[in-house]
A and B are shown apart, each in its own frame.
Chain A
């Protein structure tokens, strides 16, 4: 289980997260939503130590991890994989080499064996035909699928998705949604998804937390979000231009 407890973070004088607390249960698909710049991506980067909170605690499977140094975060990062918003594949490597890298570094596999295994992993996301291509030769959706394959190579318990369907066509976006749902249903993987994509949110989320002005505005199931009588929540989930959200 993951617990964020009273997380505070500011960049210079500007507070981004102000006393944010919530829990994520094992095996669920948990969405973090909110307007752009509200600190959703900042929050999940805290979980794998890419950012450090100014205050508060982060608990992962009964262990407080927010005070760990770079070396201490390594086991946490093997347990929590992250798919970045812009895929962040390594430009100098082919798709197969990208996926093979964690296998070489952490499973002690020889390059040739790691590449064979990487091609198997690419098959899961239907990218096996592009294994020897470089990321610059692929479209956004294809890069995203390779990034997902790379994140899953170490069989993580938790996967953090930062806007996984942004810039994808609707068909590719729904395929990514299906993959995230299957990870939870078939493998018991816990997914934390930062997203604005209303179709994703209301089709695969188990629970949702909405951040507003650095605080938790509402947490609940998709049904509870639809039912709540709050103009800010309603404006956001219906994507209305007019309303109280600044």
Chain B
């Protein structure tokens, strides 16, 4: 009797790549289907307003402290990085523009999205995943209540609105942090910093650019966290895996879409 031939390294590699590709296709397809089901509940809107209010409070209001800390220090870091070259070139008048340009278009929406993904997206997946494994989703269906309309739609809207609102706060707070660290580090008065911001080099388009990104990032986090939550299997370890998948997929989606949105909006 001869032993079965062991698979070659190439076959093993091909199998691994194939499995990964099918896995990604399944996830993207699942998210697409979920998006379709969510959109179908929007026209006409079948929204549970108490559930929306509860989610908005939990997602938005409770996120304010962490956004304040992140945004203030982000603005300050922007100035720390720019300070040596600004001082060397004597371009103190441009520090407002320099900090504002990077913050409004890129840093504030990106870091806020990563913070919200970790705080809200992961929590959303854990909550939905636990509801799946403890049959609470089945219990909703047994009560003739549509889980997508009752549970998912308010969370989807809640996360997207949260990210938009938090990015607005983050924009303002980061610029505040930048203004006061400019005063502390390179002696630029807040009025001069403000002049750099509003002197004509920055416009509404720069703010809008970041806000459009925040909505796109919000959609990614909402879709990923709901999808992985609803597809949880395997009890408590399954919930852990789903939360992990949400954080990874959201972060990857945010960076990939950031590239495309930046490219499209210019």
On whether the beta carbons of B144 and A101 are closer than 8 Å, the reply is no
On whether the beta carbons of B142 and A101 are closer than 8 Å, the reply is no
Interchain CA distance A89-B131 in the complex, whole Å: 10
On whether the beta carbons of A81 and B142 are closer than 8 Å, the reply is yes
**Chain B: interface residue count, which band?**
10 to 19
Per-position 1/0 for A93-110, Cβ under 8 A of B: 000000001101110000
On whether the beta carbons of A111 and B50 are closer than 8 Å, the reply is yes
- Minimum CB distance partner of A97 in chain B: B50
On whether the beta carbons of B136 and A77 are closer than 8 Å, the reply is no
On whether the beta carbons of A77 and B134 are closer than 8 Å, the reply is no
How many pairs of A and B residues are in contact by the CB < 8 Å rule? Answer: 59
Interchain CA distance A89-B48 in the complex, whole Å: 18
Instruction: Check A67 for interface membership: any CB of B closer than 8 A.
Output: no
Q: Name B138's contact: one of A74, A88, A106 (CB within 8 Å).
A: A88
Given known contacts A105-B150, A111-B50, A86 and B135 CB-to-CB distance under 8 angstroms: yes
- Which residues on B sit within 8 Å (CB–CB) of A78? 144
Interchain CA distance A127-B127 in the complex, whole Å: 26
- Minimum CB distance partner of A150 in chain B: B143
Instruction: Check A82 for interface membership: any CB of B closer than 8 A.
Output: yes
- Which residues on A sit within 8 Å (CB–CB) of B127? 92
- Which residues on B sit within 8 Å (CB–CB) of A77? 141-144
Instruction: Check A84 for interface membership: any CB of B closer than 8 A.
Output: yes
On whether the beta carbons of B50 and A88 are closer than 8 Å, the reply is no
Interface size of A in residues (CB-CB distance below 8 Å): 27
On whether the beta carbons of B142 and A91 are closer than 8 Å, the reply is no
Instruction: Check B145 for interface membership: any CB of A closer than 8 A.
Output: yes
Which of chain A's residues 102-141 have a Cβ closer than 8 Å to chain B?
Answer: 102, 104-106, 111
On whether the beta carbons of A90 and B141 are closer than 8 Å, the reply is no
- Minimum CB distance partner of B151 in chain A: A90
On whether the beta carbons of A88 and B145 are closer than 8 Å, the reply is no
Which of chain B's residues 133-190 have a Cβ closer than 8 Å to chain A?
Answer: 134-136, 138-146, 150
- Minimum CB distance partner of A81 in chain B: B142
Indicate the member of B54, B130, B135 with the most A CB atoms within 10 Å.
B135
In the A-B complex, the 10 residue pairs with the closest CB atoms: A88-B139, A77-B144, A82-B142, A74-B144, A88-B135, A78-B144, A102-B143, A88-B136, A50-B138, A105-B145
Sampled A-B contacts (14; CB under 8 Å): A48-B142, A50-B141, A74-B144, A75-B144, A77-B142, A82-B139, A84-B142, A88-B135, A88-B136, A90-B136, A91-B136, A101-B145, A102-B145, A154-B144
Interface residue ranges, A against B (CB under 8 Å): 45, 48-50, 70, 73-75, 77-78, 81-82, 84, 86, 88-92, 101-102, 104-106, 111, 150, 154
**14 additional contacts (CB under 8 A) given A84-B135, A104-B50:** A45-B138, A50-B142, A70-B141, A82-B139, A82-B142, A84-B142, A88-B135, A88-B138, A91-B130, A91-B136, A92-B54, A102-B143, A106-B144, A111-B50
